[in-house]
Structure 1
Amino acid sequence: MKLFFVLNYFALFILILQLGAIRPHIVPPTFSYGLVGEKSILDRPVPSQVREPARFVFASAKPEAVVFVGDILLARNVEYLMEQQGSAYPFSGLSLSSLAHEPYIVGNFEAAVPDEHQQTAPLQIRFSVAESYISSLRDAHFTHLSLANNHSYDYGARGYLSTVHALQAVDVTTFGHPTKLLQESVSFLDLEKDRIALISLHTLEKQPTDADLKELFSYAASESTFQVVYVHWGEEYNDTNSKAQRMLAERLVAVGADLIIGHHPHVVQNVDLIDGVPIFYSLGNYIFDQYFATDVQIGLVVQLAFDDVPRLHVLPVTSIESLSQPRLMSAADHATFLEVLADRSHDDLREFLIRGEIPLDIPVASSPKMAMMSK
């Protein structure tokens, strides 16, 4: 009799499965999920491949984090891809919000969102983005986008204001201006223990004066504990910083920059160190429609984390096999790329870059401010 009931219950369970009332939970083999005591997915080995947005569960305390990427373009061929594949397409290779628990996510928005949109033709560099695609940035958890670049004015002052309104309408904070230094060049990020100032600069056409920098940093420092410069500069397609970049970096460190992160060259440039301050001269492209060389389809994601030890995590991404859709590199490519980057960067950062992590409370970066923040 017991065997009869067991067989009947088993048959009922099989029937329910077939009807779809109960679906067994299958964990995709590509990704690991949250582990007890784990603070960040960055503690794990880099996945060998990424076929869909990474999804992670955090089982313990979160790191305090800000995630930085480089240039973002949603015009020209990227718009065509979004039309064909859906508006989430460029963001579907990697979930930046999975790098920490609800991090701030910062990028450089390389275009305008004019009142009257016309799709940007191939090879044209006056970029127009359709307002209907702007919500995809918020859906991808971007929180802050810099407009201090050479494309925010592609449709003039009116186009710039339209861009600001379109982004703010979907709760994405804009900061920086393409031609001026203003209080709006600074945006403040509130963390549990610290307050970060993001300072956005565009220096391709005009260098800021010392007086302007002192005034801007005085304002930023009065309202924050850590100042990050997010700057549009450098020479396109050159993987090494220019003399002008180095000179400006020295001036920025002198007035109080704690970290400098650059964009515009469309390729990843070397990482420098000036008086203990890390300088990422260029993060390269994040989302773009340049396919003519390997270098323009590779970028860096840099995470600034304020947990037990203030530190920078460095993650290379690629869109070589997925047009305009960045994703993590394979483990082998990840290691190779970071070693090559380390070889052409500051000697004192070499071992840290190979590991993909730069602590900010070590002798290499031991400013009094960082020493206080790490206690």
Structure 2
Amino acid sequence: MESKKKQLTMLLVGDVFVQRDDPPSVFKYVGDFLKSGDFTLGNLEGSTSDSGAPWSIKETNWRADARQVTALSAAGFDAVTVANNHMLDFGHDALRETLGHLDRLGIKHTGGGENFAEAHRPAIVEKHGCRIALLGYTSVFIPEWAAGPDTPGLAVMRARTSYEAPRRVFEVPGTPPIVRTRLFEEDREQLAADIAAARRGADIVVCAFHWGVSRGYREIAEYQVELGRHAVDVGADLVVGSHPHVLQGIEVYKGRAIFYSLGNFTFAQQNLKKGHENETMIVRCLIEDKRICAVEYIPARMDGEINPHALDLTCGADVVDLVAQRSARFQTRFTPHGDAVRLAGAGAA
């Protein structure tokens, strides 16, 4: 009699930035759950280093000390993206030190490195014969932060911004302009090449994009939709976003899920006055035969000490409602499924 094939789980969370005397304690309420996943992925929002100097051009520079990376290993993170707008706040030395700590702890990383090739190289994690590739990019960055052929930095996806006068501007003076954003064509092509290369070494490809507008702005920028759908068009199995510090809508596009922003999972710079939200989520993908067969999320929330808590569907009903409202433009359909909310139509055909 043929044995039942093992179903694997992949868990994904949003921004992680830890600053405390006992770093692993930040995940005391969710650590066991995160470790229960066969694959656990996230965004490391800033360096964990004791080296480097502030990048003077920036308004705000932050980092966590080197101890803080132990929070990731204690919670069982397998891989993280380092492509974000705070990873180079303390320069290339801080980036190098951070990557060294991740290597020492056995946590794979993507989105940054000594040169363009390293920054665009996927983090590949293999469990039970299934290989997952994580690719990370930021669209929010200082131009000098982009990795070059022989210079360190981050993997980037650039977007142009323009402003269009609305139709009624002469009738209603002072009407705000329409903001248009478009990806650089060469970056679209690079993403296609990166995903194709990742596909050659993995069964499942996940793209993580640091994108959008923060400080309480909840709207999804045009280029986010363009980039998320393009990633799917050229082979990504799942797209997750971060940076806005709030939850944004979820789209199912061609059977693949696009989470436009997972919000802050734990964020030591949390500031409700800047529009940050405590509401967040844990994405869970079910994998069979080396393919994503279902995608769902578990509502979650940070408490007053920035500790994330997974919520049942009763305690997290407000988070579920919020996600449904922000996903309405995509006509995404959700159904309760055990302890989670499942996305209709997402997963292998």
> What is the distance in 2 between the residues matched to 1:331 and 1:196?
29
SS at match of 2:191: helix
Alignment pair present for 1:211 and 2:193: no
Return the offset for 1:357.
3.7
TM-score normalized with structure 1 length? 0.69
Q: What is the match of residue 94 of structure 1?
A: 30
Match of 2:247 among 262, 268, 271: 268
2:64 aligned with 1:129: yes
Give the secondary structure class of the aligned counterpart of 1:305: strand
User: For residues 266-305 of structure 1, what are the structure 2 equivalents within 5 Å?
Assistant: 266-289=245-268, 290-292=270-272, 296-305=277-286
d(CA) in 1 for partners of 2:314 and 2:132? 34
Give the 3 Å change call, closer, same or farther, for CA 116–253 of structure 1 in structure 2: closer
* Structure 2: gaps (5+ residues): 142-156, 159-185
Structure-to-structure mapping, 1:1-375, within 5 angstroms: 63-74=7-18, 79=19, 82-83=20-21, 86-95=22-31, 97-98=32-33, 101-116=36-51, 125-177=60-112, 182=117, 184-185=119-120, 186-192=122-128, 194-205=130-141, 206-207=157-158, 209-236=187-214, 237-289=216-268, 290-292=270-272, 296-307=277-288, 310-320=293-303, 322-329=304-311, 331-346=313-328, 348-352=331-335, 356-358=340-342, 364-365=345-346, 370-371=348-349
Shift of 1:304: 1.5
Counterpart amino acid of residue 208 in structure 2:
Y
Q: 1:307: how far off?
A: 4.3
Could you state the TM-score of these two structures normalised by the residue count of structure 2? 0.74
What is the DSSP-based 3-state SS (H/G/I as helix, E as strand, rest coil) of the residue aligned with 2:280?
A: strand
**C-alpha distance 310-212 of structure 1, shift in aligned 2 (>3 A):** same
What's the counterpart of residue 23 of structure 1? Answer: none
2-structure distance, mates of 1:150, 1:178: 15
Separation in 1, partners of 2:334, 2:272: 31
1:325–1:141 Cα change, 3 Å: same
Higher mean C-alpha deviation, range 295-304 or range 155-164: 295-304
Q: After alignment, is 248-257 or 280-289 more displaced?
A: 248-257
Structure 1 counterpart of 2:307, one-letter code: Q
State the structure with more CA Rg. Answer: 1
* Cα distance change on mapping 1:128 and 1:334 into 2, 3 Å: same
Between 1:175-184 and 1:238-247, the stretch displaced more is 175-184
Contact 2:53 2:91 in 1 (8 A): no
Return closer, same or farther for 1:104/1:125 CA change in 2, 3 Å cut-off. farther
- Measure, in 1, the Cα distance between the counterparts of 2:115 and 2:28: 34
Paired residues, number:
292
Give 1 or 2: higher helix fraction.
1
AA paired with 1:251? Answer: H
How far apart are the structure 2 equivalents of 1:342 and 1:243?
A: 20
Structure 1 residue 201: Cα displacement: 1.2
One-letter code aligned to 1:72: V
What do the CA deviations read for 1:277-304 (whole angstroms, capped 9, x no partner)? 2110000001113142685211111012
* Percent of pairs with identical residues: 23
Partner amino acid, structure 2, of 1:188: I
Structure 1: runs of 5+ lacking an equivalent: 1-59
